[in-house]
Chains A and B, each alone.
Chain A
Amino acid sequence: MKQLKVDPIACDGHGLCAELFPERVRLDDWGFPIVDGDVPPALERHARRAVSACPVQALRLQKRT
């Protein structure tokens, strides 16, 4: 299982991640992502799409630590 992480310093709250990966990302009241980190293999493709769509590269899909 992989883990989705957001870098809160890099994140500008564009919100694309929540649109592309609603299974694990929702937006807070100010438009910034709240990430539920665990990404099972079945969802990895969606997660990768969100990671590559982030305009400031604030999302990372990584091995669980």
Chain B
Amino acid sequence: MSAAPTMELPRPFLLGDDDLGPLPLPRDLIGLLRDAGLRGRGGAAFPTADKLAAVAGQRGRPIVVANAVEGEPASAKDRALARLSPHLVLDGAVASAAALGTRDVVVAVSDAALDERRALERAAAQRRERVDIEVAAVPHGFVSGEETAVLNALGGGPPKPTLKPPYPFERGLDGRPTLVQNAETLAHIALICRFGAEWFRREGTTLVTLRGAFRQPGVHEVERGGTLGDLVRKLGGTSRPVSAFLVGGYFGRWVAARDAAALELTPERLGAGVIAALPADASPVAETARIVRYLADESAGQCGPCVNGLDAIATALDEHLHGHDRLPQLRRWTEMVKGRGACRHPDGAVRFVESALDVFAQDFAR
């Protein structure tokens, strides 16, 4: 994996030196993050300031949860951050805790991420603030990174989502108002505290994970904004001819290679930053079927529409791949499943299927 930022990036880096000395605490972190325009980097691109304000507006003793679980198997950026810049993640959590008037921070990592857990524990032991930082492992799995699943697991339950409301900001860990922020989001907060909102708007970076037919697969730190075409070119291009890119990971969307030059990488599109390149000689239907089978198998198994719907869609994709026309069923079931789970797992999966049906219409037609 290449974890080094590209050369033309301005300092400071997310994946650079993470020991930047005492953390300056801003008087108004919510206002600062609002000025910076920071959006959550866990996938949903929710405005970070709004999430913080929601917790601050609650009664009761708040708690901060740094989410470094990174359930999406194609993503590696949160683990890279935890290994290479654990203090930045902790800085962001400590700054958030200070803004909320609490000393309680829990850092959640996957129980499969041993090096990351060690790095975070070592960093936590080096902290000088009067903040109680606990590093806790939750069972590995795609859905276990979802915020209510993380809280459920930290509370001693299974790593499965719970029904919202109540939202974590209202009633989260131990029933307390809980701020759950993705690890990269917290690292951004750390840098914004030091270098300011204007710096972030001008020079702030973001992490992406490249998969598939790229010359330099792995985690990269890049400038924000620009088009998909710019990004691919800046990061060394593809290793062979490519038919399409998957932007935003398994819950993202396919983009035909010919549309890459025009595709603006907005925070919503980028999601958690996974970009996969599909080689031109690979079968889009087979790749879509493979990923959807994985997503169906990774359902938490709690909600009927997700358990049955995703399995039916995955089976239909496999049958379609093997010569049976299943387009009518695929269209019916993607529509049927939408919005009917406790979490967004089924929605993300069907959005992925719909984009495949759209972008690979010719491959699916028979």
Q: A residues near B, CB below 8 A?
A: 7-9, 11-13, 28-32, 34
Contact = CB atoms under 8 A, between A and B. Distances in A.
B308 A8 contact: no
Contacts of A12: 304
A28 to B, nearest CB: 5
A28 B341 CA distance: 13
Interface string B328-366: 000011001000111000000000000000000000000
B277 to A, nearest CB: 35
B309 interface: yes
Nearest to B305: A32
A28 B336 contact: yes
B238 interface: no
Interface residues of B, number: 16
B303 to A, nearest CB: 4
Given A9-B303, A11-B304, A28-B309, A34 B341 contact: no
Given A8-B303, A9-B162, A9-B163, A30 B309 contact: yes
A12 B302 CA distance: 9
Given A8-B304, A12-B304, A34-B336, A29 B341 contact: no
Given A8-B340, A9-B163, A29 B312 contact: yes
A32 B302 contact: no
A8 B303 CA distance: 5
A30 B308 CA distance: 7
Contacts of A13: 304
B303 A30 contact: no
Nearest to A31: B304
A29 B336 contact: yes
B305 A8 contact: yes
13 contacts: A8-B302, A8-B303, A8-B306, A8-B340, A9-B162, A13-B304, A28-B305, A28-B308, A28-B309, A29-B312, A29-B332, A29-B333, A32-B308
A12 B306 CA distance: 12
